[in-house]
Each structure stands twice: as structure tokens, then as C-alpha cells.
Structure 1
Amino acid sequence: MSWTRRSADLLVAAAMVTSVAACTADSGGGGASCVAQYTYQDITYQGVGNVKFTLGKKLGVVTAPPCEDTGGLGKSEEPVTTGTAYEVDGISPKVAIAIGDTPKTARFFAVHSGSELPPEVQKLIDGS
């Protein structure tokens, strides 16, 4: 599979694995959707799909900022979404965590540097 195709598949999968409430564009058309992002201990993570991982111990609470692309609500009117962070075996929580209401529903999230994923995450995706 080509790198471009794999990247496109990852982006689509990441958009589908969000546990943040979906935000939609206004009826004026053409607006963007919110990205699945959470913050844990001042580190921001984005959803990554198609990653096989082993869940570790419970870490604590994550927060997600309110979606600001739909207009109409002020920042103080929309609550911050929260979830539970879990370790991912073999990867530092500074690189990736799993997030979900329960261990069974936890999804994989990683830090991003531009369009690059950390090597540890890419290794899991590649199955190496």
C-alpha cells in the first residue's frame, strides 16, 4: 500500500473513531468539522485509526475543547467534554494514550507533529 493511500486511510479512520461529539458545518456550506482532540497533562492528542494496541492502566481524566466551528454559542456556554485516559503498552503517555469511557471503548490517540506521527505509533500501524 502506498504511503499516500495509507495516510488517506488513516485520516478517514481517525475521523470515524472520534469520541468527541461531532460538529457539523453550518447550512451556509463549506465549513470544517472539529477534529477529535483531547488534552491530558498539557499534551494534546489526536485520534488515529487502524492501530492494534494493548491497553495499560488507567491514567486519569482527559478534556476536549468545545467545538468552535458551528457558531452561535459562546465558549462559556458549551461544556468541555471529558473522558478517561489509559496507557498504551510499550508507548510513553507523552507519545500516545487510549481514550474512552471504559477500557472496552477506548480508542487510540497520539501526539502529532504537523502531518507526521511519532515513530512508535507508525511502528504499531505498520505492524512491525
Structure 2
Amino acid sequence: MSWVGRHAIAAGLATMAFTAVGCGSEGSEGAGANGESLCASDVLYEGRTYIKLSDAEVRVGQKLGTATTPPCRDTNDHVDDVPESSENAYAVSGISPDVVIAVGSSPEQAEPFRVLRSDKSVPPEVQELIDGS
């Protein structure tokens, strides 16, 4: 097999592996026992991607705007595709919205989300929330 052929096969396998992991992000909760989507814990707000911040207590502040959950097709069964949706985005007391927001239908229902950095590092403010919970 030629050098080009081997690299084409490797690229194809890498694409399949990437597709197989679905829309989930590192640090997100992933699919639950009830079959929820792998990417249901990602939201977009002001051009940034945020992932659900589990096990962190935050104080929700004023409404900032709207966060969007992108559409997701993390299964081969298109019946289970999750359409795009929107919810309210709220400030989190003491932390910049560039780092953490809360998302939900109301301040009482809002859950914290942290920004997803390209280097996958956890901002110090987020680590403090995680350690304090």
C-alpha cells in the first residue's frame, strides 16, 4: 500500500473516531441513564462555548441575555436529534461572565456553566468554585 493510501485510511479512521464521540465536550456530564444527549450540556453565549459545571454552588445574579444549546446529532437515529434551543443566561456573583454563567428558565432553576478554553485548562475562578463545593 502506498504512503498516500495509508494516510488516507488513517485520516478516515480519525474522522470516524471523532464522529463516534458525538457532540460532547470534555468536562460535560455526557449521556445519562435516561438517554439524554451527549451534547445537552454545552451552551453558546456571546460567541463562547460553555460546558456544564457539575457539583458547584453559585449565587445567580442578573439576567444577561440568551444562551443557545446548539443542535446535536450524537446518535445514528435522527429521530433522537436534539434541535437548537435557548434559555436565559444569568451572571454569577463575583465571577466574570467571560468565565462562568448560569443558564436556566429562571434564576432559581439556573445551573452553572464554565467557559471551554481551547487549551482545556480550568480557570482559577472555576477551580475555586469546584474546591469550595
Contact persistence 2:66–2:86 (CA under 8 A): yes
State whether structure 2 residue 100 is matched by structure 1 residue 101.
no
Matched, 1:68 2:84: no
Distance 2:83 2:40 in 1: 16
Give distance in 2, aligned partners of 1:123 and 1:49. Answer: 13
Structure 1: how far apart are the matches of 2:88 and 2:122?
A: 22
Q: Which ranges in structure 1 are unaligned for 5 or more consecutive residues? A: 1-10, 24-32
After TM superposition, the structure 1 stretch with the greater mean CA deviation from structure 2, 95-104 or 108-117, is: 108-117
1:121 corresponding residue in structure 2: 126
What is the deviation of 1:79?
A: 3.0
Q: How many residues are aligned here?
A: 102
Shift in alpha-carbon separation, 1:47–1:78, aligned structure 2, 3 A: closer
- Post-superposition Cα deviations, 1:4-34, rounded to whole Å, max 9, x if no partner, equal xxxxxxx5xx528x9xx922xxxxxxxxx32
Alignment match, 1:90: 94
Q: Which amino acid aligns with 1:55?
A: V
Q: Does 1:22 align with 2:31?
A: no
Note if contact 2:61-2:107 (Cα within 8 Å) is conserved in structure 1: no
Residues of 2 paired with 1:78 and 1:124: CA distance?
30
Q: Residues 34 and 67 of structure 1 are in contact (CA less than 8 Å); yes or no, is this contact kept in structure 2? A: yes
2: CA distance, partners of 1:79 / 1:108: 21
Asked whether the equivalents of residues 43 and 111 of structure 1 are also in contact (C-alpha less than 8 Å), the reply is: yes
Deviations 1:80-127 (A, max 9, x none): 111110000111000010000111110010012344211101111112
Match of 2:74, SS state, is coil
C-alpha deviation, 1:71, in angstroms: 3.1
Q: Give the TM-score of the pair, scaled to structure 2.
A: 0.66
TM-score (norm 1): 0.68
Stretches of structure 2 lacking an aligned partner (at least 5 in a row): 1-26
